Amino acid sequence: MELFTLLVLVLDSTLRLSVPLILAAMAGLFSERSGIIDIGLEGKMLGAAFAAATVATFTASPWAGLAAGIGASMLLALVHGYACITHRGNQVVSGLALNILVSGVTAVLGIAWFAQGGRTPQLPGEARFLPLEWPGAAWLREVPGLGTVYSELLSGHNLMVYLAFLAVPTVAWVLYRTRFGLRLRAAGENPQSVETAGISVIALRYRALLCTGVACGLAGAYLSLAQSASFINDMTAGKGYIALAALIFGKWRPVPALLACLLFGFLDAVAIRLQGVDLPGIGEVPVQFVQALPYVLTVVLLAGFIGRAIPPKALGVPYVKER
């Protein structure tokens, strides 16, 4: 029973930790499927987290914060687009430049505005997305098994967690069931054919980047408004890159990418929860081993279980309209 509760709690923590990865991976899906490499997920998330926390600090409204986060992230996405769609610059360089720029700018603005070493002030409860208790959760908690799953795993997350899991089917639907999605995928595989059909590849890719901006904005706002209660320097801590890895892990498809994100989140949660816990038959696991576990497993999985991932054909190739 103890073990079962532990498992449920680890899964619970997995959900919380994988949300930013899932949203960022969905963001990356839009831009990469349209043919734009997006190393800049990290920077867009960080910028969104800062904008969200700043606006929420002044307005005390999580919704205003969320809107600001999405806005900031879309703006950054447009900068990326301007550099590598309009001016056909190198997409990796542009993305990396964004990451470095945002990491510096947020710290400088944070110090200038709040004088707390780059952090924003702690947000009060009403300026954040707080956990939502599902009906009957407190009552069902006492029921063994199913009650634990319901009250711990399903209930008690904040709105954005549920939103992230809704985002995956939505993205899949947009990508595979709508005209926009079809054209977007075509732009990433064979842009000339899209142009031949009389559709502007440039406009399509800009729109894909705007979608990326929205999803990255959600991910960033989650970090500073839901998971933590303030912006912290470099709080994305490589999550953008991990999301990108998960995207490649998942072969640029929404559901496999979701699973990859959940795996990364799970390993992270295990690393946190296994600390100081006595495992049956093994005893207490050394902290260092637990912390190395996610990386070891990543290497093993990458080397042994994931087959060849084939990227969209036109990925990273600036589009030049023939004259």
Partner 1 sequence: MKRLCLAAFAALMASSVATAGDIEPAVVYDVGGKFDKSFNEGVYDGAAKFRADTGIDFREFEVQTDSQRVQALRNFARRGLDPILAVGFLYASALDNVAPEFPDTRFAIIDAVVDQPNVQSIVFKEHEGSFIVGILAAMAADGDSIGFVGGMDVPLIRRFACGYVLGARHARPDVRVFQNMTGTTGAAWNDPVKGGELAKSQFDRGARVVYHAAGSTGLGVLQAAADADRLAIGVDSNQNHLHPGHVLTSMLKRVDVAAYDVFDSARRDEWRSGVRVLGLKENGVGWSLDAHNEALVTPAMKAAANEAARQIVSGEIKVHDYVTEGDCPAK
Binding to partner 1 (CB under 8 A) within 145-184 occurs at 152
Candidate residues 3, 182, 272, 296; the one interacting with partner 1 per rule CB under 8 A: 272
- Examine residue 86 and tell whether it contacts partner 1 (CB under 8 A): no
Residue 257 contacts residue 246 (beta carbons within 8 Å): yes
DSSP 158: E
Nearer to partner 1, 124 or 136 (CB): 124
- Examine residue 9 and tell whether it contacts partner 1 (CB under 8 A): yes
In the complex, the smallest distance separating the C-beta of residue 181 from partner 1, rounded to whole angstroms, is 33
Return d(Cα 36, Cα 84) in angstroms, integer. Answer: 8
Return d(Cα 218, Cα 197) in angstroms, integer. Answer: 34
Binding to partner 1 (CB under 8 A) within 111-140 occurs at 115-119, 122, 125, 130-131
**Stretch in the footprint of partner 1 (CB under 8 A) among 97-105, 109-117, 139-147, 212-220:** 109-117
In the complex, the smallest distance separating the C-beta of residue 117 from partner 1, rounded to whole angstroms, is 4
Nearer to partner 1, 125 or 280 (CB): 125
Q: Taking Cα atoms as reference points, which of 290, 296, 259, 274 lies closest to residue 18?
A: 259
Q: Which residues contact 239 (CB under 8 A, 6 or more apart)?
A: 20, 21, 24, 42, 45, 219, 223
Q: Which residues contact 288 (CB under 8 A, 6 or more apart)?
A: none
**Stretch in the footprint of partner 1 (CB under 8 A) among 88-96, 205-213, 273-281, 315-323:** 273-281
- Examine residue 229 and tell whether it contacts partner 1 (CB under 8 A): yes
Candidate residues 215, 232, 261, 267; the one interacting with partner 1 per rule CB under 8 A: 232
Residue 78 contacts residue 47 (beta carbons within 8 Å): no
Nearer to partner 1, 176 or 289 (CB): 289
The three state secondary structure string of 110-145 is: HHHHHCCCCCCCCCCHHHCCCEECCCCHHHHCCCCC
- Examine residue 55 and tell whether it contacts partner 1 (CB under 8 A): no
Nearer to partner 1, 10 or 297 (CB): 10
In the complex, the smallest distance separating the C-beta of residue 272 from partner 1, rounded to whole angstroms, is 5
Return d(Cα 19, Cα 38) in angstroms, integer. Answer: 19
Return d(Cα 80, Cα 91) in angstroms, integer. Answer: 8
Q: Which residues contact 217 (CB under 8 A, 6 or more apart)?
A: 44, 48, 52, 66, 69, 70, 71, 72, 73, 74
Candidate residues 1, 288, 303, 310; the one interacting with partner 1 per rule CB under 8 A: 288
**Stretch in the footprint of partner 1 (CB under 8 A) among 8-16, 170-178, 250-258, 305-313:** 8-16
In the complex, the smallest distance separating the C-beta of residue 145 from partner 1, rounded to whole angstroms, is 17
Nearer to partner 1, 216 or 223 (CB): 223
Residues contacting partner 1: total by CB under 8 A? 32
Return d(Cα 243, Cα 261) in angstroms, integer. Answer: 7
Which residues are at the interface with partner 1 (CB under 8 A)? 9, 12-13, 16-17, 115-119, 122, 125, 130-131, 152, 223, 227-230, 232-233, 235, 237, 269, 272-273, 275-276, 287-288, 291
